[in-house]
Amino acid sequence: MNTLAGKHLVLGLSGGIACYKAAELCRALVKAGASVQVVMTEAAEHFMTAVTMQALSGRAVYTSQWDAREANNMAHINLSREADAIVVAPASADFLAKLLHGRADDLLSLMCLARPIESVPLLVAPAMNREMWANPATQRNVAQLKVDGVHVLDVGQGDQACGETGDGRMLEAAEILEDLQAFFAPQLLAGKAVLVTAGPTYEAIDPVRGITNLSSGKMGFAIARAARQAGAEVTVIAGPVSLATPRGVRRIDVRSAQDMFNAVQAQVAQSQIFIATAAVADWRPDTQADQKIKKDGSGQTPQLAFIENPDILASVAQSDRAQNGALFCVGFAAESHDLLAHATAKRLRKQVPLLVGNIGPSTFGQDDNALLLVDAKGATELPRASKQDLADDLIAEIARRL
């Protein structure tokens, strides 16, 4: 779901070295389908030129409240009335203080003060030195701005331009973009806690070998991201995958099916929705060698015996909370053939209200997928699309059923 498509945003830049990130953010917003009107303070022009921002936004940049281009000389009124939101990135410590006290001595602060509060939200991305961020004055200002209805984004942590390291740097453009996507998304799962399993599991044979599968975890991570954008508090329990954690999602890394089972049991009591996307190994070797099993030249292969892993989805779906409706469970079935028959049988066997089927070999590792939603009434196909689009559709479907 591209919630920024068709939105008109005012992107405000106050003074700070993080202005270079605003250029990347502007480009990302335009690429996402938003129109962007850039407004810069005098201090911002010391770090970034208006020419650069004009080229990236495709619009003339405003820098002065006395701009003669406006026939009524009221840029602060005209520009704010046209906006779906005002986003200030970077927002310096000085600019946050201005907002708090209602000062309006430049076009950007004047516009923020004059905006219709009920229809034009204000979002700010703080950017400053770690000591400035930690200063009690700044923290008081941020706390009061939140009370006043300003949406204050998080700050990043890491190396700063001054050579110090700590909290206070502005979020990266991609992080701000994701926060904006979530801000405009319908909050279909607001107040809900969602637990998602994702990726494969790995069942060790010896210290260097094991049994796993080709699941990349991309579908599960896309679902976690979609649930978070829908307003949920999301935890993803991930098998061994090399994927970045979706912004705002809590992540627990596990390795084996037993590890995943234990993690789910520890977390599911706090959840209202459980989505079992992970491709969990059905079996594991009954013993794990302490050292690498070596070839001895005899041509004899090691004899492996297997035991069944715990059934994570069934154990949760058949729990008292799931059976009495306090926990909504969604299962996944990755099949190689006869998808409808296998998915239908699995839904009944696991006792889940909704089972999502897909053909594993055609989706593992890919960025797109096709899904089959199976419930007590029958089956519905979701045609092939990006995994993120399918995740958005699935979350909307879950919200509708709740």
3-state DSSP assignment of residue 400: helix
Q: What is the mean pLDDT of residues 131-151?
A: 97
Cβ-Cβ contacts under 8 Å for 296 (sequence gap 6 or more) = none
Angle at 128 between CA 126 and CA 134, to 5 degrees: 90
pLDDT band at 1 (very low <50, low <70, confident <90, very high): low
The two structure tokens encoding residue 214: 């080709």
Q: Locate CATH 3.40.50.10300 in the chain.
A: 193-401
The catalytic residue among 19, 112, 162, 329 is 162
| Per-residue CA distances from 86 to 20, 118, 185, 259, 278 (Å) | 18, 13, 16, 45, 39
**Cα-Cα end-to-end distance for the chain:** 20
How far is Cα 218 from Cα 216, in angstroms, rounded to an integer? Answer: 5
pLDDT tens digit sequence for 214-254: 999 999 999 999 999 999 999 999 999 999 999 999 999 99
Cβ-Cβ contacts under 8 Å for 244 (sequence gap 6 or more) = none
Q: Is the dihedral of CA 11, 17, 18, 23 positive or negative?
A: positive
pLDDT tens digit sequence for 94-127: 999 999 999 999 999 999 999 999 999 999 999 9
The per-residue pLDDT for 70 is: 78
The per-residue pLDDT for 153 is: 97
Per-residue DSSP letters for 260-317? Answer: HHHHHHHHGGG-SEEEE--B--SEEES---SSPPPP-SS-PPPP--EEEPP-HHHHHH
For residues 113 and 36, the answer to whether their CB atoms sit within 8 Å is no
Q: Locate CATH 3.40.50.1950 in the chain.
A: 8-184
What is the percentage of the chain residues whose pLDDT exceeds 70? 100
162 is catalytic: yes
Superfamily of chain region 193-401: CoaB-like (3.40.50.10300)
8-184 maps to which CATH number? 3.40.50.1950
Q: Considering the entire predicted model, what is its pTM?
A: 0.89
Biggest alpha carbon distance in the chain? 92
The two structure tokens encoding residue 266: 């520890």
How many other C-beta atoms lie within 10 A of the C-beta of residue 213? Answer: 15
Q: What is the mean pLDDT of residues 47-72?
A: 92
For residues 202 and 210, the answer to whether their CB atoms sit within 8 Å is yes
The two structure tokens encoding residue 287: 């013993």
